[in-house]
């Protein structure tokens, strides 16, 4: 076997792994809603969206903007939100991040956290508005703890993504 072909195959396998790992971890984050967690109000962070944000902020070149559609559809199907709400909100969040990336030359940790916090708030409020439009009776004050927990736990989720992405650096 030609050594060049072998290295090309290894390169192709590494590229495939680099594209599959973020998708799998985002889908696993969306599956977190299936954990047996009992609460009177929403308090579990949207781990699927937070993984999407973490991967997007860590590797902007990794995904196209339309990746929010299939990942959001999966999240809608698993979480019970009206179909299309996460699809729309996640895609809009990725569009906003693209616009910010066009304006900023460089970003630091605090800017990433601030952008993630703003997008988490916007997506959770958008999900509440969508759910209320579909017949729900939620109030904004109900999701304030969920918003706070999500913003505070985002650096941990971003760190998990960075650890999972460590294989690229070696």
Q: Tens digit of pLDDT for each residue in 79-134? A: 888 899 999 999 999 999 999 999 988 888 899 999 999 999 999 999 999 888 87
CB within 8 Å of 3: residues ≥ 6 apart: none
* Domain presence at residue 7: no
Predicted confidence at residue 68, as pLDDT, reads 93
Distance CA 25, CA 157 (A): 11
- Residue, of 34 and 134, whose pLDDT is higher: 34
Least confident of 25-39, 124-138, 140-154: 124-138
For residues 18 and 168, is the Cβ–Cβ distance under 8 A?
Answer: yes
The range of the structural domain enclosing residue 146 comes to 42-168
Establish if 151 belongs to a structural domain.
yes
Q: Is residue 5 part of a domain?
A: no
In a domain, residue 135? The reply is: yes
* Beta carbons within 10 angstroms of residue 164's beta carbon: 17
Q: Is the dihedral of CA 26, 107, 87, 68 positive or negative?
A: negative
Q: Give domain status of residue 97, yes or no.
A: yes
Q: Would you say residue 24 lies in a domain?
A: no
Does residue 55 fall inside a structural domain?
yes
**Res 121: pLDDT:** 97
User: Where does residue 9 rank: exposed (0-12), middle (13-18), buried (19+ CB within 10 A)?
Assistant: exposed
Q: How far apart are CA 161 and CA 42, in angstroms?
A: 24
Specify if 145 maps to a domain: yes
CA atoms of 77 and 74, how far apart (whole Å): 5
pLDDT digit string, tens, across residues 60-72: 888 888 999 999 9
| Banded model confidence at residue 15, pLDDT cuts 50, 70, 90 | low
Q: How many domains does the chain have?
A: 1
């Amino acid at each position: 076997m030609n050594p060049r072909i072998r290295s090309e195959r290894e390169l192709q396998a590494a590229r495939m792994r680099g594209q599959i790992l973020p998708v799998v971890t985002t889908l696993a984050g969306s599956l977190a809603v299936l954990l047996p967690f009992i609460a009177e109000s929403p308090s579990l962070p949207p781990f699927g969206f937070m993984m999407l944000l973490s991967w997007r902020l860590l590797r902007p070149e990794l995904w196209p903007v339309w990746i929010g559609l299939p990942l959001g559809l999966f999240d809608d199907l698993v979480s019970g939100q009206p179909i299309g709400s996460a699809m729309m909100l996640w895609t809009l969040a990725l569009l906003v991040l693209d616009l910010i990336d066009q304006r900023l030359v460089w970003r630091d940790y605090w800017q990433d956290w601030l952008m993630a916090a703003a997008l988490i708030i916007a997506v959770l409020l958008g999900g509440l508005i969508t759910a209320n439009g579909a017949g729900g009776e939620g109030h904004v004050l109900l999701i304030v703890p969920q918003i706070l927990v999500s913003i505070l736990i985002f650096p941990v989720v971003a760190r998990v993504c960075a650890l999972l992405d460590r294989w690229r650096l070696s």
